[in-house]
């Protein structure tokens, strides 16, 4: 009999999701918009303290609309975290802007304030800065915000991976001009697929909602004075999200317990280092990651292969830095290190994401840990 699959991070549902969806069907609110969309926006705004929220079809759509609200146009430079998923950067290119990739710093694996400062020396007038809270760990927001404010540059927070994470007691996604969350299937809570744009600016959020609804003018007939997008979240999708949101803190606690179990289990293996935490933040530990010392004869591929082949467990490489992606090879990259070497490349070369599914049983975790330890002869 085949061994069960141990997932990296799959959806975990509880029952309330079905109740909200049933309510939508019972009231015939299966059309794209409806009361669950409005309710989810209100509930996310209340939970995060962001002020206002627009429920959208994806986190990518939220980033795109944030750039539209900031009037990013052809050849405008946008500074963006290099160690991320391509969805962070693609919307810059949608608007024919020019991404400039900013290296990570080793303390949190997030945007390096030193590299960001260096980027301003080369490109003094960027239209925006997009910072990512990688794997749920808050970036060094005080330093990054101070740099942005000194240059009058609006900050966008890609908090796709960090919903429920806080920095100095305040939710990630609420520090920048705009913040974005993702509810993709592998995130800490899911709507199956969806995202949210958040802001303290009510008028800007209303404009995002307008653009996301095909920019339909308030006329009796269908009239459009500008280009819009089909980016609104559906009522059924929002119903799932409302049920998930009830369990967000529970999911966060389970994710943190997974990280702590790995950290404790590998503490005696000097070649393993877990992904770092920001001491001024409270991470949601969306994914638990590890890096392997450069002088070790064990590679991330060896560990991932062992997990896959021996116990049918899903793991992943660290995000491949954007400046190494073929589609972005023509754009500039600003390193953290003064010698020009890249922190991002070192993390990518030496790291992997461990199975971080909150449905992992104690037996699953024991298997994963035993398999990883065996790779190091333990």
274 lies in a domain? yes
- What's CA 291's distance to the chain center, in Å? 20
Asked whether residue 153 falls in the same domain as residue 298, the answer is no
What is the pLDDT, as a whole number, of residue 362? Answer: 98
* Of 62, 60, 55, 66, nearest in space to 240 by CA: 55
Q: Is the pLDDT of residue 158 over 70?
A: yes
> What's the pLDDT band for 370 if we cut at 50, 70, 90?
very high
Catalytic residue among 68, 187, 252, 255: 187
Confidence of residue 31 (pLDDT cuts 50, 70, 90): confident
Question: Do both 365 and 327 map to the same domain?
Answer: yes
314-321 mean pLDDT: 98
| 295 — pLDDT class (breaks 50, 70, 90) | very high
196 and 175, same domain (yes or no) = yes
Same domain, 282 and 357: yes
**Residue 7 covered by a domain:** no
pLDDT at 128 over 70: yes
State whether 302 and 361 are in the same domain: yes
* Domain boundaries, position 136: 16-245
- Does residue 362 form part of some domain? yes
Domain boundary among the residues 245, 274, 303 is at 245
Report the number of distinct structural domains present in the chain.
2
Q: In the Cβ-directed half-sphere of 212, how many Cα atoms lie within 13 Å?
A: 32
162-196 pLDDT per residue, tens = 999 999 999 999 999 999 999 999 999 999 999 99
Parallel, antiparallel, or unpaired: how do β-strands 272-274 and 316-317 relate?
Answer: unpaired
User: Both 194 and 267 in a single domain?
Assistant: no
Distance CA 20, CA 158 (A): 28
Average pLDDT of span 77-91: 98
Mean pLDDT, the chain, rounded, equals: 97
| 261 and 241 assigned to the same domain | no
Cα(164)–Cα(258) distance, integer angstroms:
16
Residues 255 and 229 placed together within one structural domain of the fold: no
Biggest alpha carbon–alpha carbon distance for the chain: 72
Q: Residue 138 and residue 162: Cα distance in Å, rounded?
A: 7
Contact 103, 75 (CB under 8 A): no
Same domain, yes or no, for 186 and 312? no
**pLDDT given for residue 2 in this prediction:** 77
Written as one string, the DSSP assignment of 250-300 is: HHHHHHHHHHHHHHHHTTT-TTEEEPP--TTEE---SS-EEEE-TT-S--H
Helix (H) or strand (E) segment spanning residue 147: helix 141-151
Q: Is residue 11 part of a domain?
A: no
Specify the CATH number for the domain of residue 260. 3.90.1150.10
Instruction: Write out the H or E segment, with its range, that includes residue 188.
Output: none
113 and 188 assigned to the same domain: yes
Residues 152 and 274 placed together within one structural domain of the fold: no
Note whether residue 2 is domain-resident: no
**Rounded Cα gap, residues 155 and 152, in angstroms:** 10
Among the three residues 223, 245, 267, which one is the final residue of a domain in this structure? 245
Q: Give the pLDDT band of residue 206 (cuts 50, 70, 90).
A: very high
Whole-angstrom distance, CA of residue 374 vs CA of residue 324: 32
d(CA 145, CA 138): 13
Nearest alpha-carbon partner for 366 in 313, 316, 320 = 313
Contact in structure between 81 and 230 (CB atoms under 8 Å): no
Residue 289 is assigned to a structural domain of this protein: yes
CA end-to-end distance (rounded Å), the chain? 28
The answer to whether residues 229 and 284 touch, using CB atoms and an 8 Å cutoff, is no
The token duo for 256 is: 């943190």
Contact between 47 and 173 (Cβ < 8 Å): no
Boundary-marking domain end, from 245, 276, 293: 245
- Residue 9 resides in a domain: no
Q: Report in angstroms the alpha-carbon separations of 106 from 195, 256, 294, 317, 335.
A: 29, 21, 15, 17, 12
* Residue 263, number of CB atoms within 10 A of its CB: 16
1: pLDDT strictly greater than 70: no
Asked if the structure places residue 3 within a domain, the reply is no
Same domain, 352 and 228: no
CATH number of the domain to which 98 belongs: 3.40.640.10
What confidence score (pLDDT) does residue 32 get?
Answer: 82
Instruction: Kindly report the pTM of this predicted structure.
Output: 0.97
Angle between helices 35-48 and 235-245 (to 10 degrees): 40
255 is catalytic: no
């Amino acid at each position: 009999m085949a061994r069960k699959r141990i997932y990296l991070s799959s959806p975990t549902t509880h029952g309330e999701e079905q109740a909200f969806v049933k309510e939508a069907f019972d009231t015939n609110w299966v059309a794209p918009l409806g009361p669950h969309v409005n309710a989810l926006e209100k509930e996310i705004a209340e939970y995060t303290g962001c002020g206002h929220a627009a429920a959208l079809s994806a986190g990518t759509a939220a980033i795109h609309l944030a750039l539209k609200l900031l009037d990013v146009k052809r050849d405008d430079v946008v500074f963006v975290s290099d160690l991320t998923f391509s969805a962070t950067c693609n919307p810059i290119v949608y608007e024919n802007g020019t991404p400039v990739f900013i290296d990570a710093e080793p303390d949190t694996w997030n945007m390096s304030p030193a590299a960001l400062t260096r980027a301003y020396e080369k490109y003094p007038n960027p239209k925006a800065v997009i910072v990512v809270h990688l794997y749920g760990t808050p970036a060094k927001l005080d330093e990054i915000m101070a740099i942005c404010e000194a240059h009058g540059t609006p900050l966008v927070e890609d908090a796709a991976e960090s919903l429920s994470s806080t920095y100095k007691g305040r939710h990630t996604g609420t520090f920048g001009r705009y913040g974005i969350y993702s509810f993709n299937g592998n995130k800490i809570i899911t709507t199956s697929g969806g995202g949210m744009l958040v802001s303290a600016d009510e008028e800007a959020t209303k404009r995002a909602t307008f653009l996301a609804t095909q920019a339909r003018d308030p006329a009796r007939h269908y009239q459009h004075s500008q280009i819009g997008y089909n980016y609104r979240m559906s009522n059924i999708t929002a119903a799932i999200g409302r049920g998930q949101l009830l369990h967000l803190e529970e999911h966060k606690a389970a994710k943190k317990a997974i990280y702590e179990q790995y950290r404790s289990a590998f503490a005696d293996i000097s070649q393993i280092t877990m992904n770092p935490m920001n001491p001024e933040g409270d991470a949601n530990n969306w994914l638990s990651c590890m890096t392997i010392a450069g002088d070790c004869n064990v590679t991330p591929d060896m560990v991932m292969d062992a997990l896959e082949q021996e116990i049918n467990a899903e793991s992943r490489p660290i995000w491949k830095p954007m400046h190494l992606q073929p589609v972005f090879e023509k754009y500039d990259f600003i390193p953290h290190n003064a010698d020009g070497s890249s922190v991002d490349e070192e993390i990518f070369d030496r790291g992997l994401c461990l199975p971080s599914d909150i449905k992992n049983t104690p037996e699953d975790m024991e298997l994963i840990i035993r398999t990883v330890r065996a790779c190091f002869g333990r």
